[in-house]
Every structure is written in C-alpha cells, then in structure tokens.
Amino acid sequence: MSTISRAAQFAQRTAHLRASTIREMLKVTQQPDVISFGGGLPAPELFPTEAIARACSRVMERLGPAALQYSVTEGIPEMRVWIAERLTRRFGRIFEAESVQIVNGSQQGLDLVGKVFLDPGDHVVLEDPSYLGAIQAFDAYQTRYLTVDTDEDGLLPDSLERVLERADPFPKFLYLVPNFQNPTGRTLSGRRREKVVRVCEHFGLPIVEDDPYGELRFEGSDLPPLISYESAAPIVYLGTGSKIMAPGMRIAWLVIPDDEIREKIVLAKQGADLHSGTFAQYVFHEYAMDGDAFDAHVRTIAQTYARRRGVMAESLAEFMPEGVRFTRPSGGMFLWVTVPEVDTTELLRISTESKVVFVPGVNFYPGRNVNDGMRLNFSNASEKNIRVGVERLGHAIRVYKGVS
Ligand SMILES: Cc1ncc(COP(=O)(O)O)c(C=O)c1O
C-alpha cells in the first residue's frame, strides 16, 4: 500500500496561509479585564438590535418561505437597487444595480477577486502598510506583492508609477483602502485620487478599491471614490454593511461595472456558496429601507467613534513617552502609533501582562520588517477604558525601555 506524507496531502497553496495575529489575539481579549485595541470590532452597544428584530418579523410576515428559499447568486434585486441608489446619492454619478454583486462580507469579495485574477506567482500592488485580511485572502492564491510608498495623504502616485515601470511580471491589480485606511487611519487626498486613477489607466492596471469606512467620517466632507472617475482601467469597488449595521449579518457588496469581470465573479461566487443568505439580505434591506432612520444610525456611530478617537488622541498625547507619534484620523476605526526604537511585537508581550493589547504594525507590511508601528482600534472600548488602556500602554513602553 503506498502512502503519502501529511504535507503532500494538502494543496501547495496552504503552505502560504498564515495565521492571523488578529484572530489569535481575539482569544486573549475574551478575558474581561483586558482592554483591547487589537481587533477591528464595531461597538456592539450600537447595533440596532430591536430594529433588526422588528425587521426579521416583518420579513417573515411579508415573505414567509420566500425569505428562506435559495435565491440568485448576484443578490436579491432589492439590495442591489438599494446599494446602487445609495452610492448614486452620495457621489453624484449613476451607479447601476446590475453592476452590484452581494457577497458574504467584503472579505469574501477579496477572496473572489483573488480567485478570478490571480495565478501562482502573480504580483498584486499594495499600499505599504496594507490591510492584513486582504493579504491573507490573496496569499491563498500564492501571490507576491509589490508595495507602494505612502505618507499622511495615502499612497504616493509617483511611487506607484515607478513600481509599475519596473514591475516584472506586470501586476494583476492595485488594491487600496482610500478612506480611513486599515491599519493607519489615513485617507488618500482628493488631489491624489484622480492621479492614481490616471496612472492605472496609463498602465492598464485594474483597481480594487476597498471602502468599508467611507461612511464613518467625523469631520470634513466625503471625497469621491476612485470608481466615480471615468477610467479605461476597470475598477472593482467593495462596500460593506459590517461597520454601518452589523458585521454578523455578513452583508457586503462589490460594484463591478466591467461586464467581463462581473461575469467571472458571479461564477466564482456560485462555486463558493451559491449566494449570500437570502434571509440576511431581506432583513438588511427591510431595516435599511427607512432611509432617515438608517442615516441617523450611521451618524450616531460616527459621532460615537469621533468621541472615542478624540479621547484616544488626547490620552496618547498625555501618556506616551517623548518621541511617540500617532495619526489622528478623520474617520474610521483605527489609528497608527509609531514608537521609535521599539519592537512592538516584543512590546505586546509586556502590554498583555498589563492587560492591554493592540496589533503590532509589522503584520501589515507584506515585504519588510517595520517593527516600530502599532495599530490601535478605538471603536470598541468605552471612552473610560480607552483612557485607562492608553495609560497602561504608556507604562508598558516605559517598562520596555527600562525607564519605569
Ligand atoms: C479594509 C477592510 N476590508 C475588508 C474588511 C472585511 O469586512 P467584512 O466584514 O465586510 O468582511 C475589513 C474589516 O475589518 C477591513 O478593514
């Protein structure tokens, strides 16, 4: 009888899969006395639980078994229309319901994009640093990364141009998070948006624009998404209900004006899970249909996070040792702290003992060891805990440096 080794039983692509530090850390944060700036969890006390319960009953009364039946891969028509209309209203250009594909969280959207674009060894262009979940999704397709420099206004178009001129093999797409980026909280400036589109258009490079935080703006006005520019380079836009309603619904969407890409995504989605949950889509739509209540809810979330961001920034200014720098994002759920000459992976060990956790920045750099950064989430902890947690963090840094 012939046998094969355990390793050979698995597909080669599994060798590229890495455990998510964030998921691992969520286990630690289950302990009640730990203050977590680690995960990317929305504030659960803001979930509209009662309104969702009412929406569930209305869906069952109105639709009965139809809400529990298989449905089409693209998503229920009501949801696709709602998304197209919302984007049209926000950005003043027409978005068609036909270009919307409902997915099971934008994380599934990233996986499907990987599935239809990436062969082993292909290049993807990323911001440096970039969203860890996207790196995880693309890793499954045995991809490699080219990184573009960023500053406080996001990705640098000149750096993108240089990367593309030298790229071999030429990359399959650029992936970016232009609003309140995960992990840095930075936003791609208005002036750079069109430049990025034009550079990609010049090189014929598709863009994958991931925008989970755009609606959570605390100050200033909305900037147009890249997909709102006329472009010969195809753009796939990802939005999600996770941060404006509840992540457990797993309702998110891709907007794919390019017919050929969309057809391939639909087939990939069909093979993956046939369609997103019919019931969850109807409930989401039922809840979201009351536009005024929905908008008021999103405003409440943004106002709450704005206060938490403010407390975190003030506490950092108060409790961090000399030399520590941090971003003060105008929206979203994260800010980025740079602690010069500190390896934040080591620091996490000390801070975990002090009962405060964060994500070490090195995890967000696919190709380099940048050890002095950390991502702090400010959406999930109360204002009081944010202050206590940042004070503990300041203490942990002093312990690390031997000055405490
Ligand atoms: C940039 C980015 N993209 C995608 C996701 C995944 O969101 P979803 O819950 O829609 O899968 C997240 C979640 O934190 C994110 O920060």
In order of their start, the domains of the chain are: 6-47+294-401 (3.90.1150.10), 49-290 (3.40.640.10)
Residue with CA nearest ligand 1 atom 13 = 40
Distance of CA 248 from the midpoint of ligand 1 (Å): 12
pLDDT score of 308: 98
Closest CA to 235 of 190, 198, 274: 198
Counting as low any pLDDT under 50, the low residues of the chain are: none
Query: Do 151 and 35 contact (CB within 8 A), yes or no?
Result: no
Please work out whether the CB of residue 379 comes within 6 Å of at least one atom of ligand 1: no
Distance of CA 201 from the midpoint of ligand 1 (Å): 26
Please work out whether the CB of residue 42 comes within 6 Å of at least one atom of ligand 1: no
Residue with CA nearest ligand 1 atom 7 = 106
176, 210, 273: which to mutate for ligand 1, most atoms within 8 A of CB? 210
State pTM to two decimals: 0.95
Residues 6+ apart with CB under 8 A from 135: 126, 145, 364, 366
Distance of CA 254 from the midpoint of ligand 1 (Å): 12
pLDDT score of 11: 84
Closest CA to 211 of 245, 191, 229, 236: 236
Please work out whether the CB of residue 182 comes within 6 Å of at least one atom of ligand 1: yes
Distance of CA 262 from the midpoint of ligand 1 (Å): 20
**Look-up of token digits 């700036």:** 37
Distance of CA 107 from the midpoint of ligand 1 (Å): 6
pLDDT score of 102: 98
Query: Do 59 and 67 contact (CB within 8 A), yes or no?
Result: yes
Please work out whether the CB of residue 157 comes within 6 Å of at least one atom of ligand 1: no
Q: Which H or E element spans position 356?
A: strand 356-357
Please work out whether the CB of residue 185 comes within 6 Å of at least one atom of ligand 1: no
182, 184, 245, 364: which to mutate for ligand 1, most atoms within 8 A of CB? 182
Please work out whether the CB of residue 363 comes within 6 Å of at least one atom of ligand 1: no
Rounded Cα–Cα distance for residues 369 and 362 (Å)? 6
Rounded Cα–Cα distance for residues 155 and 240 (Å)? 22
Q: What is the pLDDT of residues 325-382, one digit of tens each?
A: 999 999 999 999 999 999 999 999 999 999 999 999 999 998 888 999 999 999 999 9
Please work out whether the CB of residue 210 comes within 6 Å of at least one atom of ligand 1: yes
Distance of CA 249 from the midpoint of ligand 1 (Å): 13
Distance of CA 212 from the midpoint of ligand 1 (Å): 6
Please work out whether the CB of residue 107 comes within 6 Å of at least one atom of ligand 1: yes
Distance of CA 239 from the midpoint of ligand 1 (Å): 9
Please work out whether the CB of residue 105 comes within 6 Å of at least one atom of ligand 1: yes
Distance of CA 61 from the midpoint of ligand 1 (Å): 32
